[in-house]
Structure 1
């Protein structure tokens, strides 16, 4: 169990965490499903290297309480077969911020200075720092400072607030912010790019954020 966690009847051996049980662990579910599709567990199946489905087998698209992507999981009205990025709208503090790129390749969360200048952050102030960031090609990006802001993820009953440490950068971009692996991991989220969705566990069920295909183009 992770230190600092209060006692709980719930425990996930995979994550070594008390926020959910292993039966509710959808990340483990997806991992098992992926390995089954790749034939990693073929030696557990009867036959000579062939996968046989017995007549009494029950086919389930959910394992251990997780979820499998189905047609109804597609964001409504998207054009399928696309290669668009996942761009969402989220509430940052009291601000509804559009054009937020969800980027698994980014190691930090970014907020562009032009967006911050138009936001109401209350008494939360920018912590000045001058350590630069470096892009994929090695180019240096000037960091104006960092700021911790609450971000609301999900819709209606399946919502969760997270405090996100944004690195504020002074650069030109079509996006207002970028959510990287730091926040994706904190949410225990998975991104479904073909479906233009991000899904994550909440206390009340699976939360999701839908992408805006029009904006991402």
Structure 2
């Protein structure tokens, strides 16, 4: 048994189908690798506007469930302990050591004309990065990232927009992390400043 559609229903259905097909798709192709040193195994390091400031050395880590802020950025944004709210969970750093967070703070991240607020966990630990953005930021922006293509892509106002990597900075951060001596470990602070 077939169901006949009225002309108005056909037009509406065709219009919806056309809109679905015309909608931009997030994806990566070989064209996205132009300008990237290949082959590589670099992490994705970008510059983001956080709280109105251009912040370099931001690691995009889609494997992480929390955004992290390190002392350089905390100090650079002139934040104080009273700006933080409590955060009771422990974190594990890149070296596998447990880190007790100082607290958390909600800050805006601007990407192009899009602004999303994320909760940064503030830690007093060494990192070659100033911050880590993770799945909460990617999901709030409705973005996808690719370390192979060294980009973050997201939809905004019907267009696919990109955040381009800083591959040279990613390599500098890696060298800094590898060459770091254990004696350079920051001492445990007994005061309330980061």
Assess same fold via TM > 0.5: yes
Q: Which runs of 5+ in 1 are unaligned?
A: 1-20, 25-62
Q: How far does residue 135 in structure 1 lie from its aligned partner after superposition?
A: 4.7
CA 23–136 in structure 1, closer or farther in 2 if over 3 Å, else same: farther
Q: Take 1:83 and 1:139, find their aligned partners in 2: how far apart are those partners?
A: 24
Q: Which has the higher contact order (CA 8 A, sep 6+)?
A: 2
Aligned to 1:18: none
Mean CA deviation greater in 125-134 or 143-152? 125-134
Q: Which runs of 5+ in 2 are unaligned?
A: 1-17, 172-194
Aligned to 2:121: 167
TM-score, normalisation: structure 2? 0.69
Aligned to 1:119: 77
- Bigger radius of gyration among the two: 2
For residues 62-81 of structure 1, what are the alpha-carbon distances to aligned partners after superposition, in whole Å with 9 as ceiling and x for unaligned?
x853144234323x632021
SS in 1 for 2:136: helix
Contact 1:93/1:121, CA 8 A, preserved across alignment: no
Q: How far does residue 188 in structure 1 lie from its aligned partner after superposition?
A: 1.7
User: What pairs with 1:126-205 in structure 2 (closer than 5 Å)?
Assistant: 126-135=84-93, 139-154=97-112, 159-205=113-159
For residues 81-135 of structure 1, what are the alpha-carbon distances to aligned partners after superposition, in whole Å with 9 as ceiling and x for unaligned?
111000000000121110000001111010112321111469x922244532235
Structure 1 residue runs of 4 or more that deviate by more than 4 Å after TM superposition: 135-138
SS in 1 for 2:111: strand
How big is the alpha-carbon RMSD for the aligned residues of Structure 1 and Structure 2? 2.7
TM-score, normalisation: structure 1? 0.62
CA 68–149 in structure 1, closer or farther in 2 if over 3 Å, else same: closer
For residues 113-167 of structure 1, what are the alpha-carbon distances to aligned partners after superposition, in whole Å with 9 as ceiling and x for unaligned?
2321111469x9222445322357863112001011110113xxxx310001100
User: What pairs with 1:1-217 in structure 2 (closer than 5 Å)?
Assistant: 23=20, 65-74=24-33, 77-120=35-78, 125-135=83-93, 139-154=97-112, 159-217=113-171
Q: Take 1:204 and 1:110, find their aligned partners in 2: how far apart are those partners?
A: 30
For residues 12-57 of structure 1, what are the alpha-carbon distances to aligned partners after superposition, in whole Å with 9 as ceiling and x for unaligned?
xxxxxxxxx9827xxxxxxxxxxxxxxxxxxxxxxxxxxxxxxxxx
Q: How far does residue 176 in structure 1 lie from its aligned partner after superposition?
A: 0.3
